[in-house]
Amino acid sequence: MGFDAQAPVIIGVGEASRKTVAGDWPRPVELAGQAIKVALADTGQADAVAAAIDVIAAIRTFEDSGVSMGTGSPDNVPEAFGAAGGITAARLIYADVGGQSPQAMVHELAGEIRRGETGLAVIVAAEAMGTAKRARKAGVELDWRLASDTPFDNVLSSFSILSRAEIRHGIISMPLAYSLLENARRLGLGLSREDYLVHMAELGAAMSAKSLTREHAQFAKHFTTRDLVRDHEKDFRLTDIYRRWRVAQDAVDLGGAIILTSAGKARELGVADDKMVWLAGASETKEAPYSERADIIYARALDFALHAALDQAGIAATDLGPVDIYSCFPVAVYGAVDTLGDPLRSLGDYTLTGGLNFFGGPGNGYATYSLSAMVDALRSNGSKPALVTANGGVMSKQAVGIYTAHQPAQPWMGEVATGYHAKSVALDSAPQGKGKILTYARPVSKDRIGAATLILAMENGARALAVLDDAADIDLGGVIVNVTPHEKRHSAAIYC
């Protein structure tokens, strides 16, 4: 097998945080700039690589994703991030919303590199939500705006994460949305709430230990399963099923950068072969809003994406070495664990960073850091291929990549495996009569439990949403309720 000069490879990775960026109030541009500089240095040929950059792609910040802290944002984020890192490019991209974005952007740019349309690209992410929250608490006003009239490619889809019906019925946050998935999985396994709490805590404890291995982990601490099961004021309840340390922590100050080019270009620039990490398989899927999915128990889109990427790379799940599963909530990890089915892999070996709860959940950008950790792992021991998953929305958008430390036997030719066909059902717009609770979610604030959002199988076979007010703190799975339709929000009462 000859040298595949046109194959896309990662040649540099970099991370930054408040540990490496000076000042009390670091801005995203400063974190991004430092990460870019570290990534350039990581290539071993910083000046040559910087001069060859064709594309800068910035991952969309929280501030520009509908989660504003009032700090403002540069008019042109990719330009501003690049300038802070001392680089420029003729083409600037601002990526779409969603945690799938960094991995999906790798796929897009790697495909262009394979086809000869792009020579060298930098993907960069940064968030300073930790700083923004500290500033708000301290009464300090921050202004992160930067003027620019330079054109850029603003990639912003209208893909629906939550349906209007879900929002009207109280699903207004990701912890609530994922509580629906988590309870559905729990009920599908036949586990009590107490047993499932231990199930989630085992995963959390295993992932927390990994956070101690990453320099820029924002919440690095080793928790035991016992720590994550017992009641504690610092591990307070967020919903009926989640406590603080079971979910992504967004109060981070992080920057990350990935540099991509072709293997031939890398050699031309003087980058050593042992710096190159090769893309061997890629897949992406999209799913319907959760309440409309035909199967609400199993992660069908993730299942498809994992198998498609593995098949494209020509490997089995048991062939994998380093693995990082997107870990915003336990169900996202366990969905992959269920699919990969490797009995020899421990729970702690489904993350390279400690996950979005202990490494930190930087908005849309987490996969930038899991990719960086993956590159480190393959350079350290490249005997087995690596897998990275990236998840957006309510397990709505998946992007999966397979990587190798050496030229793969089965080359990746630039095509992303797709083909998943989402199976959905229509919601009854005026449900009436008896229905069985398939899953549910309810918020908890200061130990006060709110109304429960229900997904129901109605007696006539229809799927419906409803809200149950003033229900006791009991397991509602499988409970029969009586539903009354209303113009905006349908109500339910436990059937007696």
Tell me, letter by letter, the H, E, C secondary structure of 340-360: HCCCCCCHHHHCCCCHHHHCC
Residue 1 has pLDDT above 80, yes or no: no
Q: Using pLDDT thresholds of 50, 70 and 90, give the confidence band for residue 308.
A: very high
Contact of 419 with 435, CB cutoff 8 Å = no
Q: Does domain 433-494 have CATH number 2.40.50.840?
A: yes
pLDDT given at position 496: 79
The helix/strand/coil state of 393 is coil
pLDDT given at position 362: 93
CA 186 from centre of chain: 22
| CA–CA separation, 175 and 418 (whole Å) | 28
Nearest to 258 by CA among 452, 66, 108: 108
Stated pTM of the model: 0.97
pLDDT given at position 360: 97
pLDDT given at position 398: 98
Q: Using pLDDT thresholds of 50, 70 and 90, give the confidence band for residue 327.
A: very high
Q: Where in the chain is the domain with CATH 2.40.50.840?
A: 433-494
> What is the overall mean pLDDT for the chain?
96
Residue 160 has pLDDT above 90, yes or no: no
| CA–CA separation, 58 and 124 (whole Å) | 5
Reported as a single tens digit per residue, the pLDDT across 446-494 is 878 999 999 999 999 999 999 999 878 899 999 999 999 999 999 999 9
Reported as a single tens digit per residue, the pLDDT across 188-235 is 999 999 999 999 999 999 999 999 999 999 999 999 999 999 888 788
Residue 37 has pLDDT above 90, yes or no: yes
pLDDT given at position 447: 76
Reported as a single tens digit per residue, the pLDDT across 367-379 is 999 999 999 999 9
| CA–CA separation, 101 and 391 (whole Å) | 8
pLDDT given at position 424: 95
Q: Using pLDDT thresholds of 50, 70 and 90, give the confidence band for residue 159.
A: confident
Q: What is the mean pLDDT of residues 69-90?
A: 97
Residue 169 has pLDDT above 90, yes or no: yes
| CA–CA separation, 457 and 479 (whole Å) | 11
pLDDT given at position 196: 98
Q: Using pLDDT thresholds of 50, 70 and 90, give the confidence band for residue 158.
A: confident
Which positions ≥6 away from 37 have C-beta within 8 Å? 14, 46, 85, 86
CA distance from start to end of the chain = 71
pLDDT given at position 344: 92
| CA–CA separation, 35 and 12 (whole Å) | 10
pLDDT given at position 347: 97
pLDDT given at position 165: 97
Reported as a single tens digit per residue, the pLDDT across 121-151 is 999 999 999 999 999 999 999 999 999 999 9
pLDDT given at position 419: 94
Poorest-pLDDT segment among 66-75, 225-234, 248-257: 225-234
| CA–CA separation, 489 and 480 (whole Å) | 18
Percent of the chain exceeding pLDDT 90 equals: 95
Half-sphere exposure of 48 toward its Cβ, with a 13 Å CA cutoff? Answer: 14
Reported as a single tens digit per residue, the pLDDT across 381-402 is 999 999 999 999 999 999 999 9
Using CB atoms within 10 Å of the CB of residue 341, give its burial: 0 to 12 exposed, 13 to 18 middle, 19+ buried: exposed
Q: What is the mean pLDDT of residues 11-36?
A: 97
Tokens of 356: 């979005």
| CA–CA separation, 169 and 293 (whole Å) | 17
Poorest-pLDDT segment among 96-110, 231-245, 292-306, 419-433: 231-245
How far are the Cα atoms of 280, 390, 471 from residue 305, in angstroms, in the given order?
A: 14, 10, 38
| Fold of the domain spanning 8-160+250-404 | Peroxisomal Thiolase; Chain A, domain 1 (3.40.47)
